[in-house]
Structures are given as C-alpha cells and as structure tokens.
C-alpha cells in the first residue's frame, strides 16, 4: 500500500514536472538533494552516510518507519577482513551501545565466531530497550564503517537459530523485538556515551533481570562478563582520532516533513577538519545515566536525554491533545510553537524552540522525516529524539574522552 502510494507520488511529481522539493524530497530510488540536505552532507573519508526513510525492504509496508535514521554497516567474520557483508538500514542510535543485527538480515556466507566464557559456555544477551528486548548470542565481528575498521568486536546476533529459547527473566522485561518488523530496522549501531552497554557493573554483578547469559544445551543462566567481552561501542574501537566520539548532521525540514532525507555520520571529534567543535557549546551529561535536565513549563525534568534512536519529542503535557488513532502521539488542532531549556549538570543552558504538529496529519502525508513530531511521556523526562537533530550538527563525546578541554560524556550542539 505504502509502496504504491510512494510510486504514485513520484509519478505524480514527474507528470506535473514539479520540483522534487515540492513533492517532499526524493524517493528511495531517486535521491534528491535539497538546499538544506546539501548543507547537512559532510565530505571526508571518516564519514558514513545517514538516511531517514521508510525502513528495511523486508518491513511490511503497513509498518514503515518514521524518524528512524539509518546507515550501512559492513561486518566481516575474521580480522583479515577478507569475507565481509554490508547490511543496510542499521538504526544509528546514540541511546545505546553496541552493534546488534537481526540474524535474518545478515547475508549468507559469514561465519561469525561465537563468544564463549572460560568454561566454553556460549555467551548470549538480553538487549534491553525501553520498548522491548532483543535476544541472541554474542559473536565477534570485524566492523567497518566509513574508512575505519575495528577488529573482532563483540556484537549481538538477534534471533539466531539455535538460541530460540528466551530466558523467562528476559521475556519478562517487555516486548520481544527479535525480527525486522518488530525491531523496525535490520539492526542497531549503538554509539552512545558509554563504552559498553552494561559496563563495570556486569563485571562483578548479574543484574536482575540479567543482561548477559552463559548457555549450554540445557539452557541459559545469567553471568558476569568482562567489559572487553560485553557489547562495546564500535566507534570507540576505531583508530586514534576517530574513536573519541561522533557527529551527526541532518538537514532542517519543512513543517510537513520530507519523504526521506540524507545526512552524515562523522567519526571522531576535533581531530579532522570536518569534525571541529569550534564554538559549539558543550553540555555535560550525568556520567552514570547520560541524562541532563530540561525545564519545560516551569518544571525541572531531571531525567531528560537527547538521543537519535527515539523518533519523536516525548514529554508530558496534559494540555496537548493526544491522537485518536496514532496512540501515544500528540494531535493539536494547529501546530504549537513551544520552547524548553536544556540545562547540563554544570548549569550551562540552551533555550530550544520546537514545534509540535498534528501527528495524524503528518502521517497522512506519507513522509518519513518530521521535525515536529511529538508525544506524551512519563513525568520527569523530556526525550529529545530525532526531531532535535534536524537542522543541527550534534556531537556526542564518549565517557573518559578529553575533547575541547572537556571530558566526556558530553553532547555539543
């Protein structure tokens, strides 16, 4: 249905000889650079391409994605990097750590080594996300992104045959997201502030519910795991100058969104001519949580965060009507011009203006990229998702990295 709509839209645009911009941007087959898109494209060998579009080709058209930003990632089954496959539609996520790929999205021909503990038990993981969990073994892959390579990195292969039985404790954390349609992507490239998804806590403790498991033929039990064996931030394992952080660049958008957009993921911060902070303001986040504060309507929301893996601006405001069919999103009768103040842990502030449009109207456009999409949330949190990233260059510097006179974790924009 969606594909037909997209083809119809494209045909209509060509028929009317309108500009592609008037048709809401390019399609997945005819990529178009609007003025704003061109400004968001950064050149350099340390740059991977970003796209916001309707998602993987295997996704049912009724479940097309909105505001999910993707890149291609190449994985190889040996350090020689002589047997590699490239996987498209990997979600670029500054709110998680580690590369996770749905097994069915990995082309045949790779034989990724299984991670084992000292007693030869296979290591598997319950990947925890707010909207559900991923289950599957931890394997080692050599990861290539732009011109950088990281050797033998622990990654999660989601829904790998042979790991069909999800531990009860993992299943009890929420919604299973073990296929492309429920995950909304072929995988996720977690490049957030933290070097590992769990970190030092899991070296000596097994959280309840557990994250890492040691598996035998009879089942899986929670296990401790050294940080080197946990899912690591792949970018942090790239070469010097490319491993201290990332910068995301996406174009600004018109009020009704764009059919799809292109942008850039730049590796490294303050190391090349294309990733300089210059006068960009730095905002330190809480080193344990990655959170900072947002002041909205006089309320200080201390559990706020900025991340590329949320598809909207999510915050609690009972004065904005919710949608009837697009559950969870806001549907004001006319677009709201709002503002909030982001405050870092040292009190450095940024006043942010943003719009919230009627989500159902936005979705009816058939577009996939919206800067004015929002919805409700739990008290104490303002989730600055992908709409925040449009029209900005956002730097994410990893924990412990010293950049521009400040030590990560911090975000700069």
Partner 1 sequence: MIHRKTGLYTSLALLVMMLAGAARAELGGSIATVQADQARMKAAVRPGTSGPGYSVHVMQTPSGITVREYADTSGNVFAVTWQGPFMPDLKQLLGPYFSNYVGAARKRHGGLHHLTVADKNLVVHSQGHMRAFSGIAYLPAKLPTGVKPADLQ
Query: Shortest approach of partner 1 to residue 89 CB, angstroms?
Result: 13
Distance (Å, rounded) from C-alpha 35 to C-alpha 97? 33
Smallest gap from residue 126 Cβ to partner 1 (A): 9
Which CB atom, from 47 or from 390, has the smaller least distance to partner 1?
Answer: 390
Residue closer to partner 1 (CB basis): 34 or 223? 223
Strands 97-102, 187-191: pairing kind: antiparallel
Name residues whose C-beta falls within 8 Å of residue 171's C-beta, 6 or more positions apart in sequence: 133
Please spell the DSSP secondary structure of 175-213, one letter per residue.
Answer: -B--SHHHHTSSEEEEESS-SBSSTTHHHH---SS-SEE
First to last CA, the chain: 38
User: Which of 174, 226, 281, 300 is close enough to bind partner 1 by CB under 8 A?
Assistant: 174
CB of 151 to partner 1, least distance (A): 24
Q: How far is the CB of 172 from partner 1 (least distance, A)?
A: 4
- Best CA proximity match to 220, nearest among 162, 156, 167: 167
Please give the residues from 93 up to 112 whose contact with partner 1 meets the rule CB under 8 A: 93, 95-97
SS3 251: coil
Strands 349-356 and 406-407: unpaired
Choose the stretch contacting partner 1; rule: CB under 8 A; options: 44-52, 77-85, 154-162, 175-183: 175-183
Name the phi and psi angles at 281, rounded to 5.
Answer: -75, 135
Q: What is the DSSP string of 118-163?
A: TT-PEEEEEEEETTEEEEEEEEEEEEEETTEEEEEEEEEEET-TT-
* Stretch touching partner 1 by CB under 8 A, among 42-50, 135-143, 181-189, 252-260: 181-189
Q: Is 263 near partner 1 (CB under 8 A)?
A: no
Interface with partner 1, residue 182, by CB under 8 A: yes
Cβ neighbours of residue 279 closer than 8 Å, sequence gap 6 or more: none
Query: How big is the site for partner 1, counted in residues (CB under 8 A)?
Result: 67
DSSP state of 72: E
Q: HSE of 379 in the Cβ direction (CA atoms, 13 Å)?
A: 2
Residue 372 within binding range of partner 1, rule CB under 8 A: no
Residue with Cβ nearer partner 1 (251 or 290)? 290
What is the nearest approach in angstroms of partner 1 to the Cβ of residue 92? Answer: 11
Query: Does 60 interact with partner 1 (rule: CB under 8 A)?
Result: no
Report if residue 201 touches partner 1, rule: CB under 8 A.
Answer: yes
| Residues numbered 306-325 forming contacts with partner 1, rule: CB under 8 A | 307, 309-312, 314, 316, 318, 322
* Binding region for partner 1 (CB under 8 A) out of 23-31, 82-90, 212-220, 381-389: 381-389
* Residue ranges that bind partner 1, judged by CB under 8 A: 63, 65-68, 91, 93, 95-97, 128-133, 169, 171-176, 181-184, 188, 190, 192, 194, 197, 199, 201, 205, 207-209, 211, 288-291, 303, 305, 307, 309-312, 314, 316, 318, 322, 326-328, 375-381, 383, 385-386
């Amino acid at each position: 249905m969606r594909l037909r709509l997209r083809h119809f839209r494209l045909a209509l645009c060509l028929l009317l000889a309108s500009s592609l911009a008037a048709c809401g941007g390019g399609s997945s087959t005819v990529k178009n650079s609007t003025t704003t898109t061109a400004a968001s494209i950064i050149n350099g060998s340390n740059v991977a391409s970003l796209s916001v579009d309707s998602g993987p080709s295997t996704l049912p058209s009724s479940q097309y994605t909105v505001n999910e930003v993707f890149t291609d990632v190449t994985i190889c089954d040996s350090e020689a990097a002589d047997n590699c496959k490239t996987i498209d539609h990997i979600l670029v996520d500054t709110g998680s750590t580690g590369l996770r790929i749905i097994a069915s999205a990995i082309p045949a021909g790779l034989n990724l080594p299984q991670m084992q503990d000292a007693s030869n038990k296979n290591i598997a993981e319950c990947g925890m996300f707010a909207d559900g969990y991923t289950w599957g073994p931890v394997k080692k892959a050599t990861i290539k992104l732009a011109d950088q390579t990281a050797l033998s990195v622990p990654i999660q292969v989601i829904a790998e045959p042979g790991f069909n039985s999800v531990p009860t404790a993992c299943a009890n954390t929420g919604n299973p997201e073990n296929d492309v349609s429920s995950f909304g992507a072929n995988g996720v490239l977690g490049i957030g502030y933290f070097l590992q998804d769990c970190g030092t806590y899991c070296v000596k403790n097994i959280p309840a519910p557990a994250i890492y498991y040691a598996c035998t033929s009879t089942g899986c039990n929670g296990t401790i795991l050294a940080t080197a064996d946990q899912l690591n931030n792949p970018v942090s394992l790239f070469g010097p100058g490319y491993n201290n952080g990332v910068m995301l660049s996406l174009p600004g958008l018109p009020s009704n969104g764009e059919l799809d957009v292109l942008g850039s993921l730049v590796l490294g911060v303050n190391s090349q001519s294309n990733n300089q902070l210059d006068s960009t303001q730095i905002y330190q986040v809480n080193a344990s949580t990655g959170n900072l504060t947002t002041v909205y309507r006089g309320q200080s929301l201390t559990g706020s965060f900025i991340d590329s893996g949320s598809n909207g601006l999510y915050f609690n405001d009972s004065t904005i009507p919710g949608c009837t069919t697009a559950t969870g999103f806001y549907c004001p009768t006319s677009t709201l011009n709002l503002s909030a103040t982001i405050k870092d842990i040292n009190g450095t502030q940024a006043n942010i203006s943003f719009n919230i449009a009627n989500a159902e109207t936005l979705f009816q456009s058939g577009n996939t990229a919206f800067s004015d999409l929002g919805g409700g949330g739990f008290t104490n949190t303002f989730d600055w998702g992908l709409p925040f990233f449009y029209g900005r260059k956002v730097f994410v510097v990893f924990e412990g990295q010293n950049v521009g006179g400040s030590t990560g974790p911090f975000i700069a924009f």
